[in-house]
């Protein structure tokens, strides 16, 4: 996920994802576009420019690019100028959902892309929704893993658990597919503190059903907490890797009770507290990235669900080769730009001006991808 929809207008917006810079803007019809931020002329940053009609304009010498990344106009050349075929920058498929701008960063044809994760609570009047965001000084895989880790709640979040009941927590069910996984758990958190209402919501040792989910697309961690039979909370967190050290989490938070906006403030405060508690742990964890080999960490029964996420992720890396070789990119920092290849690179077979990012070569044989529609869906 690149940005909240409400933050993208006619004015170009700069976003960083996977260590690369992009520009987002809306054309005259309101359609959002995501292009590589680097101008082909002298490397100007398009996000520092402006829009003209359906084009984004480079602030350096005014070159204009359309939503498909094609050079449309060069002011110094006048109206007769015909752009050569090579005059094209990467433009990525964009889809807006849940008030978010989703971008597909890759060159797969549409039928081979993993779908945007479902969020059935969005727009449903039975839920009160709030949104917020947080930036972590941590790598995204660590953030996702924290989001689906039930066991840590007994230690890190006094609101949801306590160390004495860590042994009683139970995994009831785990199910996973190629790009998604879900689990069901039983926990015994403490009484809620606070006013009479909150104390009544949860009595001591009243079991809570928690349902964490992970999705590879968007690095989504979702968790539904059934506080009791009538009250539930859903957290839908999209964890965008900004670069190797930072993650921007776009969070949607739903509650099925106290739906008046009056209660948002307290609810947001508690959500912020949870993020703060997690940040202390994740930002200090080592190594910063998930270790390359499972042999360099130990797992126990409680980690079973996280292992489904790690396995699916590793499959993408080891069989599909879907990993940027960030060490290699780092070697060229400041001297060379790379672009993540967009789908047009497969169809527009030419020598593009900007080279594609180096990838970590797959280690295992690649099983061809079937169209997403034919695969087991979440």
Q: Which residues bind Fe ion (CB under 5 A)?
A: 278
Strand partners, 135: 248
Give whichever of 54 and 278 is closer to Fe ion, judged by the CB atom.
Answer: 278
Q: Which does 61 bind (CB under 5 to 8 A by kind): ligand FES, Fe ion, none?
A: ligand FES
Tell the smallest beta-carbon distance from residue 59 to ligand FES (Å): 7
Q: Which does 309 bind (CB under 5 to 8 A by kind): ligand FES, Fe ion, none?
A: none
Tell the smallest beta-carbon distance from residue 55 to ligand FES (Å): 12
- The per-residue DSSP string of 266-308 comes to HHHHHHHHHHHHHHHHHTT-SSSSPPSSGGGS---GGGHHHHH
Q: Is 42 in the site for ligand FES (CB under 6 A)?
A: yes
Q: CB burial class (10 A; 0-12, 13-18, 19+) of residue 18? A: middle
What Cα–Cα distance (Å) separates residue 243 from each residue in 17, 36, 58, 157, 213? 6, 16, 24, 27, 24
Site for ligand FES in 47-66 (CB under 6 A): 58, 60-63
Tell the smallest beta-carbon distance from residue 160 to ligand FES (Å): 51
220 three-state secondary structure: strand
Q: Is 44 in the site for ligand FES (CB under 6 A)?
A: yes
Q: Which does 39 bind (CB under 5 to 8 A by kind): Fe ion, ligand FES, none?
A: ligand FES
Tell the smallest beta-carbon distance from residue 225 to Fe ion (Å): 12
Give whichever of 41 and 162 is closer to ligand FES, judged by the CB atom.
Answer: 41
With CB under 6 A as the rule, give the number of residues binding ligand FES.
9
Tell the smallest beta-carbon distance from residue 240 to ligand FES (Å): 27
- The crossing angle, in degrees rounded to 10, of helices 140-148 and 264-282 is 120
Query: For the chain, how far is it from start to end, CA to CA, in angstroms?
Result: 19
Strand partners, 86: none
Q: Which does 278 bind (CB under 5 to 8 A by kind): ligand FES, Fe ion, none?
A: Fe ion
Tell the smallest beta-carbon distance from residue 44 to ligand FES (Å): 3
Contact 201, 231 (CB under 8 A): yes
CA distance 131 to 263: 14
CA distance 36 to 83: 18
Task: Count CA atoms closer than 13 A to 323's CA, side-chain side.
Answer: 20
Stretch touching ligand FES by CB under 6 A, among 16-24, 36-44, 163-171, 343-351: 36-44
Tell the smallest beta-carbon distance from residue 328 to ligand FES (Å): 26
Please say whether the dihedral angle defined by the alpha carbons of residues 103, 105, 108 and 114, taken in this order, is positive or negative: negative
Closest-approach residue to Fe ion (CB): 278
Q: Is 41 in the site for ligand FES (CB under 6 A)?
A: yes
* b/e code 307-334 from CB counts within 10 Å (16+ = b): ebbbebbbbbbbeeebbbebeebeeeee
Tell the smallest beta-carbon distance from residue 153 to Fe ion (Å): 6
Q: Which does 119 bind (CB under 5 to 8 A by kind): Fe ion, ligand FES, none?
A: none
CA distance 150 to 141: 16
Tell the smallest beta-carbon distance from residue 262 to Fe ion (Å): 26
- Residue corresponding to tokens 């690369």: 20
Q: Which does 37 bind (CB under 5 to 8 A by kind): ligand FES, Fe ion, none?
A: none
Q: Is 23 in the site for ligand FES (CB under 6 A)?
A: no
Q: Is 39 in the site for ligand FES (CB under 6 A)?
A: yes
CA angle 32, 147, 271 (to 5 degrees): 80
Q: Which does 329 bind (CB under 5 to 8 A by kind): ligand FES, Fe ion, none?
A: none
Q: Which does 63 bind (CB under 5 to 8 A by kind): ligand FES, Fe ion, none?
A: ligand FES
Give whichever of 87 and 134 is closer to Fe ion, judged by the CB atom.
Answer: 134
| 366 alpha-carbon distance from chain centroid | 25
Site for ligand FES in 299-328 (CB under 6 A): none
Q: Which residues bind ligand FES (CB under 6 A)?
A: 39, 41-42, 44, 58, 60-63
């Amino acid at each position: 996920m690149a940005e909240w929809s409400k933050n993208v207008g006619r004015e170009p917006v700069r976003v960083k994802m996977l260590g690369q810079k992009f520009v987002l803007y809306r054309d005259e019809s309101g359609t959002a576009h995501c292009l590589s931020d680097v101008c082909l002329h002298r490397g100007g940053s398009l996000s520092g420019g402006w829009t003209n009609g359906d084009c984004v304009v480079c602030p350096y010498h005014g070159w204009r690019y359309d939503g498909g990344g094609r050079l449309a106009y060069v002011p110094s050349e006048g109206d007769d100028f015909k752009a050569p075929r090579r005059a094209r920058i990467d433009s990525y498929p964009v889809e807006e959902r849940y008030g978010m701008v989703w971008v597909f960063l890759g060159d797969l044809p549409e039928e081979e892309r993993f779908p945007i994760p479902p969020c059935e609570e969005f727009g449903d009047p039975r839920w009160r929704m709030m949104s917020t965001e947080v930036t972590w000084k941590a790598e995204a895989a660590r953030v996702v893993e924290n989001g689906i880790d039930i066991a840590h709640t007994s230690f890190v979040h006094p609101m949801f658990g306590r160390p004495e009941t860590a042994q009683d927590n139970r995994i009831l069910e785990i199910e996973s597919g190629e790009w998604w996984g879900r689990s069901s758990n039983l926990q015994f958190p403490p009484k809620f503190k606070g006013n009479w209402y909150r104390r009544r919501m949860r009595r001591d040792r009243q079991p809570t059903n928690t349902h964490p989910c992970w999705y590879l697309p968007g690095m989504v961690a979702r968790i539904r907490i059934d506080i009791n039979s009538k009250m539930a909370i859903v957290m839908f967190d999209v964890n965008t890797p900004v670069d190797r050290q930072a993650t921007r989490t776009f969070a949607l938070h739903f509650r099925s009770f106290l739906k008046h906006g009056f209660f948002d403030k307290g609810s947001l405060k508690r959500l912020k507290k949870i993020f703060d508690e997690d940040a202390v742990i994740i930002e200090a964890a080592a190594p910063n990235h998930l270790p390359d080999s499972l042999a360099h960490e130990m797992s126990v029964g409680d980690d079973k669900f996280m292992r489904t996420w790690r396995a699916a992720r590793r499959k993408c890396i080891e069989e599909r080769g879907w990993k940027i070789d960030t060490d290699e990119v780092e070697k060229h920092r400041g001297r060379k730009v790379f672009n993540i290849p967009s789908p047009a690179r497969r169809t527009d077979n030419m020598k593009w001006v900007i080279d594609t990012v180096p990838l970590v070569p797959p280690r295992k044989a690649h099983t061809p991808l079937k169209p997403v529609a034919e695969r087991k869906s979440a």
